[in-house]
Each structure stands twice: as C-alpha cells, then as structure tokens.
C-alpha cells in the first residue's frame, strides 16, 4: 500500500457530532486537520450553527450542513451534500449520543421507559447505521468510519443505564457493518473513551467524582484527554490502520483491563 507522509493527507472526512469546543468531535477535527484531512461538518440544529461555521473556518473551511440524525430526510441531504462537494467520501466520524435525562439517572428499574429506551437507541445507536446505510455507496476503497462508545456497554456502570444498552447495540452494529462492508474496502471501528468533561458529561450528577476515581484507579494513573482520542481517531481513519476493522479500541488509560483497581 502507498502510505502518505501525512496520516490522512487529502482524505475527505465527514464529522458528525460537533456541539462546542469541548466536544470530542472538536478534538478529532483538530487532529485530522493537523494531519492533512479535508473536512465537512454536520450539526444538530441552528443552535450550533455559529460555532460550526467558525470552527470549520479554523480547520480548513469545509462545508457545513444541518442534520438531525433522528430524521431520515436530513441524513439523505447530508450525504447528498458530501457527494456533491467531494464525489467520494473517505471517512466518517460519528460522535453522537443522547438519552433523555431521566434514562441515565438512578436505578434502571425505576427510570427505564419504552419511550426513553426508543429515543436513546434511535439517536445513540441507529443513527450510525443510518449514516452508513446512506453513505456506503459513495465511500471509497480504503475508507474508514468510526463511532464513539463507553465501557458502560460491557459492564454495568451506575446511572449509565439505558445509554449502556444503546452503546452495546452500537458496538454490535460496528461488527455487522464491518463484516459486510469490508469487501468493499470500508473499515468500521469504534473508540471506547474514558470519561472526559464535555457538555454531554457536565450535565451528569456525580461526574466529577467519577472522573477523580477514574483518574487514580487506572493503569496510567490519570484521566485521558480529548486530544488522545483525536489522535487515535486519526490513526483509525488513516491507512496506517488498514488491517483493523470491527473493533472497539479502548482509549481509557487501561481502565478496562482491571477487574478491581490496584492500590
Ligand atoms: P457532546 O455533547 O459534545 O457531543 C454529543 C453530540 O451529539 C452533540 O454534538 C449533539 O449535538 C449531538 N446530537 C445529539 N442528538 C443529536 C441528533 N438528534 N442529531 C444530531 N446530533 C445529535 O459530548 P461528547 O462527550 O463529545 O460526546 C460524543 C460521543 O462520545 C458520544 O457518543 C458519547 O457517548 C461518547 N463518549 C463520551 C465520553 C465522555 O466522557 N464525554 C466518554 C466515552 C464516549
Ligand atoms: O455517553 C456519555 C454521555 C451521554 C449523554 C449525556 C447526556 C447528558 C444530558 C447522553 N445523553 C445525555 N442527556 C442529557 O440530557 N458518556 C460516556 C459520558 C457519561 O455519561 C454518564 C456517565 C459517563 C461517563 C452518565 C451516567 C454515568 C456515567
């Protein structure tokens, strides 16, 4: 394979899930831009438009397009824009998750509802399938798609509840899409990140104490940064990871390898 000197030089990559400068997608964008990618962005609604417009300008000035992932027409329009602008898509970053607040607080048996379950799985899991379903015909040979997940999909985590179920579904979707898109030259992986203080995280009761616990009880003896997730994303979107598909790559300082934390 012909490796470019810069990790993702000239690759056309769609970034979905930017809200503000603290978003994991913002750190991914910066790493991709630094390593030569050409970027396009979608945002959930007009509340984020100003930030995205500015942020795009600072990172190569690619297209921006509104896309509510709960809406199939919006997804169709987003992929049509990417196709019109670029012809082909070399990479997709899906950094999106949402649960109604009552679904991620308290004991599961007290908080889970049919409607809450539905919304959480729709936005946090199905949205990735929907993007790949629409985009794959326009994805190039040697292209790559990634999504973001959390260890609460594999092991019960206080309060994460319905989000943990949706992340388990998301990780399974990575394996299914990787299985059938591999022969078309499309790789599909997820990054399981340790806790990071973002907008989605700051709304969570007790997040700070969880962050502190995680920081001391992890092999690396510190919390991970959004920049570290960004650099792993660049690797997974580059040809340097050409043999990797269907995986969940942990960027969590090693937290997931220990059954019980060491003193
Ligand atoms: P964030 O709030 O910055 O990002 C979440 C994004 O999801 C926002 O941009 C929001 O606009 C978007 N979104 C929600 N509903 C949407 C919809 N209907 N249509 C389109 N977009 C929608 O928070 P983040 O922490 O950067 O989260 C990004 C991803 O990382 C999520 O999948 C999250 O589960 C995952 N993650 C976060 C952490 C953490 O500790 N922050 C750890 C592991 C994994
Ligand atoms: O995936 C996430 C956060 C996802 C999230 C956050 C919110 C807050 C605001 C999804 N939906 C909402 N809905 C809101 O109304 N993480 C991995 C971060 C996170 O969230 C937790 C965690 C961790 C870690 C929730 C409970 C326990 C731990």
Give the closest residue (by CA) to ligand 2 atom 20: 201
45-59, 76-90, 110-124, 201-215: lowest mean pLDDT where? 201-215
Pairwise CA distance, residues 92 & 133, whole Å: 12
Contacts of 120 (CB under 8 A, 6+ apart): 98, 99, 100, 103, 162, 163, 165, 166
What do you get for the CA distance between the two ends of the chain, in Å?
45
160, 176, 250, 255: which one is catalytic?
160
Q: Which ligand is nearest to the CA of 157?
A: 2
Residue 131: closest CA among 183, 74, 176: 74
Q: What is the pLDDT of residues 90-144, one digit of tens each?
A: 999 999 999 999 999 999 999 999 999 999 999 999 999 999 999 999 999 999 9
* Residue 250: active-site member: no
Mean pLDDT for 6-35 is 97
Q: What percent of the chain has pLDDT over 70?
A: 98
Q: What is the pLDDT averaged over residues 185-197?
A: 98
Q: Where are the domains of the chain?
A: 12-252
State the pLDDT confidence band at 3, using cuts at 50, 70 and 90.
very low
pLDDT at 5 over 80: no
Output DSSP code: residue 143: E
Closest-lying ligand 1 atom to the alpha carbon of residue 196:
40
CA distances from 257 to 37, 151, 174 (A): 33, 11, 21
Among the bound ligands, the one closest to the CA of 198: 1
**Residue 200 Cα distances to 133, 167, 175, 206, 247, angstroms:** 26, 15, 26, 13, 24
Which residue's CA is the closest to the ligand 2 atom numbered 21? 160
Instruction: Grade residue 2 by pLDDT with cuts at 50, 70 and 90.
Output: very low
CATH of domain 12-252: 3.40.50.720
Label residue 10 exposed, middle or buried (CB < 10 Å: 0-12, 13-18, 19+): exposed
Confidence of residue 199 (pLDDT cuts 50, 70, 90): confident
Nearest residue (by CA) to ligand 2, atom 1, is 97
157 backbone dihedrals φ, ψ, rounded to 5°: -130, 125
For 256, other C-beta atoms within 10 Å of its C-beta total 15
The ligand 1 atom nearest the CA atom of 70 = 18
Cβ of 230 closer than 6 Å to ligand 1, yes or no, is: no
- Which residue is closest in CA terms to ligand 2's atom 19? 201
Q: Quick check: CB of 231 below 6 Å from ligand 2? A: no
| 3-state secondary structure (DSSP) of residue 55 | helix
Does the beta carbon of 200 sit less than 6 angstroms from any atom of ligand 2?
yes
Annotation says 22 is catalytic: no
Average pLDDT score over residue span 5-13: 91
Of 150, 176, 250, 255, the active-site residue reads 150
pLDDT for the residue numbered 87: 98
- Distance (angstroms) between ligand 1 centre and the Cα of 26 equals 11
pLDDT of residue 4: 46
Contact predicate 189/170, CB 8 Å: no
Nearest residue (by CA) to ligand 1, atom 22, is 44
Neighbours of 133 (CB within 10 A): 14
Specify the pTM.
Answer: 0.98
Q: Which of 70, 117, 157, 200 to mutate to test the pocket of ligand 2 (most atoms within 8 A of CB)?
A: 200
C-beta 240 within 6 A of ligand 1: no
pLDDT of 233 reads 99
């Amino acid at each position: 394979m012909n490796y470019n000197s810069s990790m993702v030089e000239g690759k056309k990559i769609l970034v979905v899930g930017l809200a503000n400068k603290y978003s994991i997608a913002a750190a991914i964008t910066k790493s991709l831009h630094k390593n030569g990618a050409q970027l396009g962005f979608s945002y959930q609604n007009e509340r984020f438009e100003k930030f995205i417009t500015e942020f795009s300008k600072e990172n190569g000035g690619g297209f921006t397009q509104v896309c509510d992932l709960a809406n199939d027409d919006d997804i169709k329009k987003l992929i049509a824009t990417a196709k019109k602008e670029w012809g082909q898509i070399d990479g997709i970053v899906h950094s999106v998750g949402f649960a109604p607040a009552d679904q991620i607080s308290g004991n599961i048996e007290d908080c889970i509802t049919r409607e809450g379950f539905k919304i959480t799985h729709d936005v946090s899991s199905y949205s990735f399938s929907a993007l790949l379903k629409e985009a794959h015909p326009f994805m190039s040979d040697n292209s790559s798609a990634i999504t973001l997940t959390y260890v609460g999909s594999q092991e019960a985590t206080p309060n994460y509840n319905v989000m943990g179920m949706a992340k388990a579904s998301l990780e399974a979707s990575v394996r299914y899409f990787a299985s059938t898109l591999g022969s078309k030259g499309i790789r599909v992986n997820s990054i399981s990140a340790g806790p990071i203080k973002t907008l989605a995280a700051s709304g969570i009761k007790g997040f700070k104490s969880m962050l502190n616990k995680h920081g001391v009880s992890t092999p690396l003896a510190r919390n991970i940064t959004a920049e570290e997730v960004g650099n792993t994303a660049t690797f997974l979107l580059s040809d340097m990871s050409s043999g990797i598909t269907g995986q969940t790559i942990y960027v969590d300082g090693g937290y997931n390898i220990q059954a019980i934390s060491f003193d």
